[in-house]
Amino acid sequence: MSDALVSVVVPTHYRNESLRETLGSIRRQTYHPVEVVVVDDSGEGHARTAVEDFDVTYVPHEENRGSNPARNTGIRASSGEYVQLLDDDDSLFPRKIEKQVALLEAEPDAGVAYGGVATKADERVLPDPDCRDDPLRCALQIIYPGTFPSSMLIEREVLTEVLPLRYRPAADDIGWTIELARRTDFAAVDEVLTDIGRSEDHQSDSIEFPLEVRKIIREYDHLYERYPPEVRHAALSFMYESLAIHALDDRWWSPRAPLAYAKAAYHGGPVSSSRPVLLAAVAASLLGRPGVDFAARVRATVG
């Protein structure tokens, strides 16, 4: 077994309870050696008491800077050959790092390894086989879990090429996943290795998320031009569906919701498996939040 040092970088912001669970999952890893760097982005040392019982390097920010700046701080403070960027409400399965180090060493052309995830909705999402030969295509389509940071283990040499990770107010992981996919192959472990947190205050749970995704699609227009139109359409469908969901965040009805669902269905394409669901969502959203909630319950029962 390899003895390469793995650095786990955990940015945290007022989530002490889940942070302890996250650090516990790192402690239970079967792989060694591992170093842990916790970057407290609260600006007031809020996480200091949460890390006292763990062997970590604790780095407090003097002010809140955001997730990617905190990751940049943690990466600079670490020294491992491989880097695991772990959100403070996510947990690693015990053999996660062991399996991914072994995979990266077995596939020298790959600079990123990822695995399946257990989602907030208690779904188990495994790597998409169609992403094996072209990770950039899947990153541009925003296909999870390959674009989910906690699912990855990254070679430092590759990660260094995309530093510093840019500050984005919401979709802070999608841009640098695209940058990684431009530079290296991705290898996948066909198992669920990461449990996504259940916290309710994710930036991706706000209207800022689809708005930032739209900016990313425009920013990487030159990359989308290299692929068939359906790649861009998939990203746009993802963005519009998210926009529709968040259009009803703080109101019971909004004209933006059915319009956004209709655009999501259009960009999803006539043969997309999600198109019937999106078309149903158009009708449900005409009834506002009650209609969307009812449709979601029916979908969960049937699915």
Supply the pLDDT for residue 251.
83
Supply the pLDDT for residue 199.
62
Q: What is the pLDDT of residues 39-55, one digit of tens each?
A: 999 999 999 999 999 99
More confident residue, 102 or 284: 102
Supply the pLDDT for residue 202.
60
Cβ 203 vs Cβ 172: under 8 Å: yes
Q: pLDDT averaged over the chain?
A: 90
Q: What is the pLDDT of residues 142-170, one digit of tens each?
A: 987 667 889 999 999 999 999 999 988 78
Label residue 31 by pLDDT band (50, 70, 90): very high
For the chain, residues classed under CATH 3.90.550.10 are 6-201
Q: What is the pLDDT of residues 161-202, one digit of tens each?
A: 999 999 887 888 899 999 999 999 999 999 999 999 866 556
Label residue 206 by pLDDT band (50, 70, 90): confident
Supply the pLDDT for residue 291.
82
Label residue 84 by pLDDT band (50, 70, 90): very high
Label residue 34 by pLDDT band (50, 70, 90): very high
Which residues lie closer than 8 Å to 295 by C-beta, 6 or more apart?
280, 281, 284
Q: What three-state secondary structure class fits 232? A: helix
Per residue in 242-278, is it b (16+ CB within 10 Å) or e — as a string? Answer: bbbbbbbeeeebbebbbbbbbbbbbbbeeebebbebb
CATH code, 6-201: 3.90.550.10
Supply the pLDDT for residue 132.
82
Label residue 116 by pLDDT band (50, 70, 90): very high
C-alpha distance from residue 178 to each of 76, 149, 229 (Å) = 21, 12, 17
Q: What is the pLDDT of residues 246-277, one digit of tens each?
A: 888 778 888 888 999 999 999 987 656 677 88
The whole-angstrom separation of Cα 284 and Cα 68 is 36
Cβ 176 vs Cβ 148: under 8 Å: no
Supply the pLDDT for residue 300.
60
Inform me whether the pLDDT recorded for 85 exceeds 90. Answer: yes
